[in-house]
Amino acid sequence: MRRLLLVVGMVCLSASLALAQGKTSNAWTCPKPADAHSIEVGDKPGHSYSIDQITCTSTKGEIAGVKEKEGTGTEFAEVTGNSMKGHGVFVETMANGDKIHFVYQFTATTKDGQMQSGSNKYQATSGAGKFKGIKSNGTCTGTGKADGSVDWACSGTYSVP
């Protein structure tokens, strides 16, 4: 019986050691989107749908010991007056060339068509290389700047096989 418990204990320990887990604390700077399109709905002033794509640069952070480098977000938003909400896909390229794919949902306030502040919730959907099978989720807060760029601060958790 002791031998069975020892074997079960060793299997459980091996399984837990094979899964790298950690917390993330990262930062991104994103310039004004280079490719953005907006269509007025026409039912009331200030109501539109927009789609844009933006490439962001990591200013801080790593996952499983690999530094974050850059990412491209493609997003769809509904704008009503000075608020917006939407969703997107963020494809992150790590310093070693591996990629992680995330989905996110966001809300933001705007002024004169530029984001002032925002927040989002994200989760990883897939990864490649070292990040194949990644599980990750977290939140970000964003602060808009006068030039139309946005600085994001994010935190979350991850696990990789």
- Residue 92 pLDDT > 80: yes
At position 54, the amino acid (one-letter code) is: I
- Residue 7 pLDDT > 70: no
- Residue 45 pLDDT > 50: yes
What proportion of the chain, given as a percentage, has pLDDT over 70?
88
Judge contact between 90 and 68, C-beta under 8 A: no
| Domain 31-160 class, CATH top level | mainly beta
Q: Which residues contact 46 (CB under 8 A, 6 or more apart)?
A: 79, 80, 81, 82
The Cα–Cα gap between 71 and 100 comes to: 9
Q: Where are the domains of the chain?
A: 31-160
Give one word for 81, left, alpha or beta, with left for phi > 0 and alpha for psi -120 to 50: left
Judge contact between 73 and 90, C-beta under 8 A: yes
The Cα–Cα gap between 72 and 117 comes to: 20
Which DSSP state fits 33?
A: P
User: pLDDT category, 5, cuts 50, 70, 90?
Assistant: very low
Query: What sign for the dihedral angle of Cα 141, 69, 88, 21?
Result: negative
**At which residue do the structure tokens 């269509």 appear?**
39
